[in-house]
């Protein structure tokens, strides 16, 4: 296999992807931009495939995703082997890139990482739970918290549990916008969404036999900011129960429908790689999820 995928060329491709440009990759590798370009071209000639789109930042093709996934796996295996042989370079941490959704990041996920033994550097990529698997396919991360039970090629899947979301609003919002029961007005009143990919509120409205949430939408792409926006009265929204509970207790939020909530199943997907660092992280994440979800 390595006869047509030379390691120096594979690692150069990975550097270009991680750094975003040929010039930045050259600086990271301490070679000239011309050398980087030549290695990538040679790799493309060897595979007979276009691996990169020369944009800024560069973008991988489907073939490029396969090669980058291989490069990252080789890099991790090499680091693990050096550590087990006592040959790790001084101060060299093991880096694990992980994709995680914003609500998990704001609630239970960070405490999980504190349980992992030292010497591991986490590089977290925040992405919607329905889209984190894209980063796995592209080889940009080694593991992901996702809502998809279907394994990405070369990955294993472990069920974590369910994240529960409650329909809430501020008391001021209820007084202003809900003269009638919420179920009757859910498709007409202002709503807060995380971003344009967030359809949780629409799914909730459809469960009430409405076409969707209201036409007035505020987009707040941050988990704590989302809860703050709902508490401020911008609109109603589905807030994770862990974030909603203290605000409900204090009266800052009101539960709009005690009989209904939205539950999102979460899974841990990771490369099928014999890596002690990855295994330790998976164990810690599973334990924290069991306690919190």
Q: For residue range 38-87, what is the model confidence (pLDDT) as tens digits?
A: 999 999 998 889 999 999 899 999 899 889 988 888 888 887 777 777 66
Residue 92 has a pLDDT of 64
Model confidence at 1: pLDDT above 90: no
Q: Give the C-alpha separation, 102 to 2, whole Å.
A: 39
Window from 46-60, 127-141, 250-264 with minimum mean pLDDT: 127-141
| Sign of the alpha-carbon torsion through 277, 278, 281, 287 | negative
Split at pLDDT 50, 70, 90, the class of 88 is low
* Residue 94 forms part of a structural domain: no
Write the burial class of residue 83 (CB in 10 Å: 0-12 exposed, 13-18 middle, 19+ buried): middle
231: CATH: 3.40.190.10
Q: CA 186 from chain center: how many Å?
A: 29
Residue 87 has a pLDDT of 66
Cα angle value 275/146/74 (rounded, 5°): 25
Model confidence at 91: pLDDT above 70: no
45: CATH: 1.10.10.10
* Residue 123 forms part of a structural domain: no
Higher pLDDT, 153 or 236: 236
Residue 4 has a pLDDT of 62
Split at pLDDT 50, 70, 90, the class of 212 is confident
Cα angle value 102/108/110 (rounded, 5°): 80
* Residue 278 forms part of a structural domain: no
Q: Give the C-alpha separation, 192 to 32, whole Å.
A: 49
Please tell me the total number of residues recorded for the chain in this structure.
Answer: 293
pTM: 0.78
Kind of pairing between the strands at 143-146 and 262-271:
antiparallel
* Residue 47 forms part of a structural domain: yes
What's the number of domains the chain is made of?
2
Q: Give the C-alpha separation, 291 to 108, whole Å.
A: 9
* Residue 207 forms part of a structural domain: yes
Residue 280 has a pLDDT of 94
* Residue 174 forms part of a structural domain: yes
* Residue 77 forms part of a structural domain: no
Q: Give the C-alpha separation, 145 to 132, whole Å.
A: 7
Residue 2 has a pLDDT of 41
Q: For residue 11, give its domain range.
A: 1-68
* Residue 129 forms part of a structural domain: no
Q: Give the C-alpha separation, 38 to 84, whole Å.
A: 34
Listed residues 68, 98, 117: the one ending a domain: 68
Q: Give the C-alpha separation, 62 to 72, whole Å.
A: 16
Say whether 135 sits in a helix, a strand or coil: helix
Model confidence at 177: pLDDT above 80: yes
Split at pLDDT 50, 70, 90, the class of 22 is very high
Cα angle value 261/264/267 (rounded, 5°): 160
Residues 195, 201, 203, 206: what is their CA dihedral angle, to the nearest 10 degrees? -130
Listed residues 68, 96, 125: the one ending a domain: 68
Higher pLDDT, 109 or 138: 109
**268-284 burial: b if 16+ Cβ within 10 Å, else e:** bbbbebebebbebbbeb
Average of pLDDT values for 150-162? 94
Model confidence at 37: pLDDT above 60: yes
């Amino acid at each position: 296999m390595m006869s047509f995928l030379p390691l120096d060329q594979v690692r150069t491709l990975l550097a270009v992807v991680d750094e975003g440009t040929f010039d930045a990759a050259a600086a990271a590798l301490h070679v000239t931009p011309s050398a980087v370009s030549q290695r990538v071209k040679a790799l493309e000639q060897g595979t007979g495939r276009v691996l990169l789109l020369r944009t800024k930042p560069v973008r991988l093709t489907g073939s490029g995703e396969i090669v980058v996934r291989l490069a990252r796996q080789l890099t991790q295996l090499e680091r693990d082997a050096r550590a087990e042989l006592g040959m790790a370079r001084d101060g060299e941490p093991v880096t694990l890139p992980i994709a995680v959704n914003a609500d998990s990041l704001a609630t239970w996920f960070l405490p999980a990482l504190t349980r992992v033994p030292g010497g591991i550097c986490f590089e977290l990529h925040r992405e919607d739970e329905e889209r984190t698997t894209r980063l796995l396919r592209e080889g940009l991360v080694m593991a992901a918290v996702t809502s998809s039970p279907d394994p990405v090629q070369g990955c294993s899947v472990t069920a974590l549990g369910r994240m529960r979301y409650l329909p809430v609003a501020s008391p001021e919002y209820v007084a202003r916008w809900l003269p009638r029961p919420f179920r009757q007005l859910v498709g007409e009143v202002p709503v807060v969404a995380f971003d344009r990919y967030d359809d949780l509120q629409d799914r909730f409205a459809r469960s009430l036999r409405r076409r969707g949430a209201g036409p007035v939408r505020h987009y707040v792409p941050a988990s704590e900011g989302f809860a703050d926006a709902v508490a401020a009265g911008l609109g109603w929204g589905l807030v994770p129960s862990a974030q909603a509970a203290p605000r409900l207790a204090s009266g800052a939020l009101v539960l709009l429908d005690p009989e209904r909530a939205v539950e999102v199943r979460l899974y841990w997907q990771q490369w099928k790689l014999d890596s002690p660092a990855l295994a330790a992280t998976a164990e810690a994440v599973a334990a924290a999820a069991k306690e919190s979800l």
